[in-house]
Chains A and B, each alone.
Chain A
Amino acid sequence: MTPLLGRSLILLALLSATTGALVGFATGARPTVLSSTWTRRLAFAFAGFMTAANVLMLEALLSHDFSVSYVAQVGSRAVPTWVSFVSLWSSLEGSILFWGLVLSVYIAAAAWFNRDSHPEYMPYATAVWLACGAFFSFLLAGPAQPFQTMSPVPSDGPGPNPLLQNHVLMAIHPPFLYSGYVGMTIPFGLACAALLTGHLGHGFIRPLRTWLMVPWIFLTCAIVLGGWWAYEVLGWGGYWAWDPVENASLLPWLTATAAVHSALLMERKGILKGWTVTLVVASFLLTILGTFMTRSGVFNSVHSFTQSPIGPTILGFLTAALLFSVALLSLRVDTLTSEGRLEGVPSRDGLFLVNNLLFVLLTFTVLVGTCFPLVVEALRGVRMSVGRPYFDAMAVPIGAALLFLMGVGPALPWGRATPEQTRRALVPPLAGAAVVAAIGFAAGARNPWTLVTLAFGGYTAWVTLAEVWLPLRQRMRSHGEGPLQALAESSLGRGRRRFGAYVVHAGATVVIVAIAVSSTMGTSKEMKLRTGESAAIRGYTLTFLRTEQRDEPHRQSMVALVSVTRDGKDIGTMAPRMNQYDRQREPVGTPDVKTFLFEDLYLSILNLDADGGTLSLHALVNPMVAWIWAATALMALGGIVAVVPRRERGVAPARAAAPAAGLGAAVGRQ
């Protein structure tokens, strides 16, 4: 019964998406109020059916309804409830179903928020969204059916991949990643609508930017959560390996970040319209490429889904989307005329352009490195991989340059700057550069790139803090506000977009510096310890106490208990473990990480002999890794501040509220 109902919902979603896309394109070409309304209604219908299908699947997973093929494939009575829940996206068919859910929520939200605005663009945009929705519904109806009927009904299932059960981050990372990936469909639809209608008015830049920022925030978090998961689960002590699937999530982030910046220039000066639209389109295409990378089995990665029959179908969609985009751009991009002109390089405008070129260069670098093994194998039949050295050699200088630009750009004024202005803007932050580089040198940084990054980081931090501080000081002087109130006003009031952007910059600065420090200034040591023996690593003394066996319904774990002291002071016991899952031959290790303010102590079991008496341990001291996680949260927060719309001035409730707020503030001061 459930499988039949599920299949029906998928077919209804497919039907409403297809019809909606057709009606939408027709409406875009020849707009009427009635057909616009129907386009929107069909979008809501698609969202409703897709959501219902997901709810049905979740219900089947939680109630262990093994008559549904997907549940039979990933479900298990032995796993905890949260694992049953996240099984929704733990395997191929479910992940596509979940993709459909996220897409339908995005479409419904974007259609709802713009129901009364942009009538000339919305039918085309909705049509493009629904065309994507139709494709994913088609996948669910054909090549990747989650709702097949099992006969006979099995009594139990194998449970999801053990690596996915190993850490709770696996419950958080995929939804973020999907919200980032799938969300790029919305700005893509808006960009296509601009191209199809042949204009991109000033009023339409705001929704484009907002709907670009939302998935950007999710994708930022997702990339770092993925790194965090790798760090906490995989046990090799790092968080980024330039793995194809990691690259797949980075690529659209790079182009989207470039687009967020060029959109700003477009908004201010009416220039770079075609370029911004191209970046938005590219971000979407790269998410589809990423989907192909993870699901085709063509790329070798720890993250990829196993061999699947949907690779060719996704590649067909990618090909169609690429050709459609190239055709649309080359036919229509000239209709988006510029309203201004670009200033030369020694201005904020010019540096925006340099920023964009660097982001695009980095995108190409990563794309080429990711695809190069495929070229070699296709031409010469030799299997090879492009490793860290290539990516690091390219990404480190570009990353450092972007960090520097993040300082120089905002320091310079808009438009043409006089040499005097330039000097006054660019010289003082050198103090920040000197201070941070000196601190790094004192802490032992000797790698030239690390020192360069620290100096650039100090420079950018100076500029960023100054850009946040100056308006605050002005407010405090002119309005007589305290620092906290001024901060609240600028983060929620008129300057919030600007304020949010600088918070993102502050977070990004810390992330880049922390990556440079953690990847060059760590210590790593392999040690072999018998019970009771100790070894030292950078001020820490590790003593292997004993081994404990812990049994859980779905796994058995061997836990090595290691007591840790620093400078003779006891700082607790750490417990790296080896987990043996049912039906999995190789045990899966889980490292243990202890985080201090400036560094992590990271212990991972290499080998634990059968009687548990001898432990081979990989111990690492990783500086500043936790700063990456924290600073990413800051970036996300800044993004949210920048994107949440300010109350419109002139709208009645806001006007009514203003005197009251003023009164409240006055009362508060007394």
Chain B
Amino acid sequence: MNRRVLGAGLAVSLPLIVILFANLGRDPHSVESPLIGRPAPPFSLEPVDPGPAVSLESLKGRPVVLNFWATWCIPCVEEHEALASAARRLGDGARFYGIVYEDEAAPVRRFLEERGQAYPSLLDADGKAAIAYGVYGVPETYFIDAQGTIVAKFVGPLDPPTLDAYLALARGEKR
């Protein structure tokens, strides 16, 4: 047993392992959104199905969930069911809106016909809403409380427990 080799080897290896484990699971691409705690940027967007434009102004008084998505995005397809069932369950307890990101009305309509539509999706043809919210990629979901303040942002596909936790936050409930 060569103690010097052992000592030197451990002195290099152990800190490295500890640092790498400590950083596991962090996402270097996730930049903390500067919007959290601020009023949600206003928008007025046409829905995919014929109807009047929806503005953020008109939604005040209830928590709002804004889900940026696209039909070509596989994680969006994965989380669709979780969002739809939460929207159905909560009914008037929260308003859900999909905002279509870099996609066309026709494939979106086809997708919603196939997969079921629990809440309206809005078209963001020139990407202004996505830019205002600082969307980096899809899916990204913003949780806005009844006063119109963004309380949280989630990047990636939502599963039901995560979604419930964020909804509770948006509705001002204790977790």
Cβ–Cβ < 8 Å partners of A326 in chain B: 5-6, 9-10, 13
Contacts A323-B13, A326-B9, A331-B1 hold; do A585 and B23 have CB atoms under 8 A apart? no
Query: Quick one: closest A residue to B32, CB to CB?
Result: A383
Query: Quick one: closest B residue to A583, CB to CB?
Result: B72
Counting contact residues on chain A (CB < 8 A from B), the size range is: 35 or more
Query: Quick one: closest A residue to B130, CB to CB?
Result: A585
Asked if A298 contacts B1 (CB within 8 A), the reply is: no
Which of the candidate stretches A169-177, A307-315, A660-668 sits at the interface with the other chain?
A307-315
Q: Report the minimum CB–CB distance from B76 to chain A (whole Å).
A: 12
Q: How far is the CA of A274 from the CA of B9 in the complex (A)?
A: 13
Q: Report the minimum CB–CB distance from B148 to chain A (whole Å).
A: 27
Interface flag for B41 (CB, 8 Å): no
Interface flag for A241 (CB, 8 Å): no
Interface flag for B90 (CB, 8 Å): no
Q: How far is the CA of A318 from the CA of B102 in the complex (A)?
A: 40
Contacts A326-B6, A371-B16 hold; do A298 and B23 have CB atoms under 8 A apart? yes
Partner of A315, one of B6, B24, B72, B127: B24
Asked if B20 contacts A374 (CB within 8 A), the reply is: yes
Cβ–Cβ < 8 Å partners of A333 in chain B: 2, 5
Interface flag for B50 (CB, 8 Å): no
Contacts A323-B13, A378-B22 hold; do A297 and B5 have CB atoms under 8 A apart? no
Interface flag for B28 (CB, 8 Å): yes
Cβ–Cβ < 8 Å partners of A330 in chain B: 1-3, 5-6, 9
Asked if A298 contacts B6 (CB within 8 A), the reply is: no
Q: How far is the CA of A331 from the CA of B20 in the complex (A)?
A: 26
Interface flag for B26 (CB, 8 Å): yes
Cβ–Cβ < 8 Å partners of A322 in chain B: 13, 16-17
Asked if A312 contacts B3 (CB within 8 A), the reply is: no
Q: For window 260-309 of chain A, which residues contact chain B by CB distance below 8 Å?
A: 274, 278, 289, 292, 296-300, 306-307
Give the most central of A278, A326, A329: most B CB within 10 Å.
A326
Interface flag for A73 (CB, 8 Å): yes
Asked if B17 contacts A297 (CB within 8 A), the reply is: no
Interface flag for A570 (CB, 8 Å): no
Interface flag for B74 (CB, 8 Å): yes
Give the most central of B13, B20, B21: most A CB within 10 Å.
B20
Contacts A296-B24, A315-B24, A585-B102 hold; do A371 and B19 have CB atoms under 8 A apart? yes
Interface flag for A439 (CB, 8 Å): no
Proximity bits, B101-118, A CB within 8 Å = 1, else 0: 010000000000000000
Interface flag for B173 (CB, 8 Å): no
Interface flag for A325 (CB, 8 Å): yes
Q: Report the minimum CB–CB distance from B158 to chain A (whole Å).
A: 15
Asked if A300 contacts B74 (CB within 8 A), the reply is: no
Asked if A298 contacts B28 (CB within 8 A), the reply is: yes
Q: How far is the CA of A23 from the CA of B102 in the complex (A)?
A: 55
Asked if B26 contacts A298 (CB within 8 A), the reply is: yes
Asked if B74 contacts A73 (CB within 8 A), the reply is: yes
Cβ–Cβ < 8 Å partners of A331 in chain B: 1-2
Interface flag for A375 (CB, 8 Å): yes
Cβ–Cβ < 8 Å partners of B10 in chain A: 326
Asked if A378 contacts B1 (CB within 8 A), the reply is: no
Cβ–Cβ < 8 Å partners of B2 in chain A: 329-331, 333-334
Cβ–Cβ < 8 Å partners of A315 in chain B: 17, 20-21, 24
Asked if A378 contacts B23 (CB within 8 A), the reply is: yes
Q: How far is the CA of A373 from the CA of B16 in the complex (A)?
A: 12
Cβ–Cβ < 8 Å partners of B28 in chain A: 297-300
Interface flag for A415 (CB, 8 Å): no
Asked if B17 contacts A374 (CB within 8 A), the reply is: no
Interface flag for B27 (CB, 8 Å): yes
Cβ–Cβ < 8 Å partners of A274 in chain B: 5
Proximity bits, A457-474, B CB within 8 Å = 1, else 0: 000000000000000000
Q: How far is the CA of A453 from the CA of B91 in the complex (A)?
A: 72
Cβ–Cβ < 8 Å partners of A378 in chain B: 19, 22-23
Query: Quick one: closest B residue to A293, CB to CB?
Result: B20
Asked if A307 contacts B17 (CB within 8 A), the reply is: no
Q: How far is the CA of A322 from the CA of B12 in the complex (A)?
A: 10
Query: Quick one: closest A residue to B9, CB to CB?
Result: A326
Q: How far is the CA of A328 from the CA of B72 in the complex (A)?
A: 50
Contacts A330-B2, A331-B1, A583-B102 hold; do A298 and B9 have CB atoms under 8 A apart? no
Interface flag for B174 (CB, 8 Å): no
Cβ–Cβ < 8 Å partners of A278 in chain B: 5
Asked if A374 contacts B19 (CB within 8 A), the reply is: yes
Q: How far is the CA of A583 from the CA of B102 in the complex (A)?
A: 7
Q: Report the minimum CB–CB distance from B133 to chain A (whole Å).
A: 14
Interface flag for A158 (CB, 8 Å): yes
Interface flag for A319 (CB, 8 Å): yes
Give the most central of B13, B24, B28: most A CB within 10 Å.
B28
Contacts A296-B24, A585-B127 hold; do A158 and B72 have CB atoms under 8 A apart? yes
Interface flag for B29 (CB, 8 Å): yes
Q: List 10 A-B contacts (CB under 8 A).
A: A298-B26, A307-B27, A312-B24, A315-B20, A315-B24, A322-B17, A323-B13, A329-B2, A333-B5, A374-B19
Q: A274-B5, A298-B26, A325-B9 are in contact. List 10 more A-B contacts (CB 8 A).
A: A73-B74, A158-B72, A297-B28, A299-B28, A300-B29, A311-B24, A323-B13, A329-B5, A374-B23, A583-B102
Instruction: State the B residues within 8 Å of A (CB).
Output: 1-3, 5-6, 9-10, 13, 16-17, 19-29, 72, 74, 102, 127, 156
Nearest 10 pairs between A and B by C-beta? A300-B28, A326-B9, A330-B6, A378-B22, A330-B5, A322-B13, A374-B23, A298-B23, A330-B2, A374-B19
